[in-house]
Amino acid sequence: MNTTRWDSASHLKTEEDIQLYLEACLEEAGDDPAFIIHALNTVARARNMSQLARDTGLTREGLYKALSPEGNPSFATVSKVAKALGFKFTIQPSM
């Protein structure tokens, strides 16, 4: 049996797909910031990492490193990436 590696980025075709994906990941992540970083990495690859690098003022290699499983990006970097992707962080009361 031949299998191929699943890549969620290749299935994020529309802005609605991306928004729903990020919402689901944020809900699923709980207290795991690495899960959120992974979701941003997936969306960044779906969009265009080179363009995202230009939009954030970071290097493409720096973005790959920051958003990798070994990366440990600052909140400033995460915020820049989210903003460049067209999203913002908000705080809501938990229910």
SS3 of residue 4 by DSSP:
coil
pLDDT at 73 over 90: yes
Exposed/middle/buried for residue 24 (C-beta within 10 Å: 0-12, 13-18, 19+):
exposed
2-10 mean pLDDT: 89
The model's pTM is: 0.85
Tell me, what's the pLDDT at 61?
A: 94
Tell me, what's the pLDDT at 11?
A: 93
CB atoms within 10 A of CB 64: 16
Q: What angle do CA 45, 17, 82 make, to 5 degrees?
A: 50
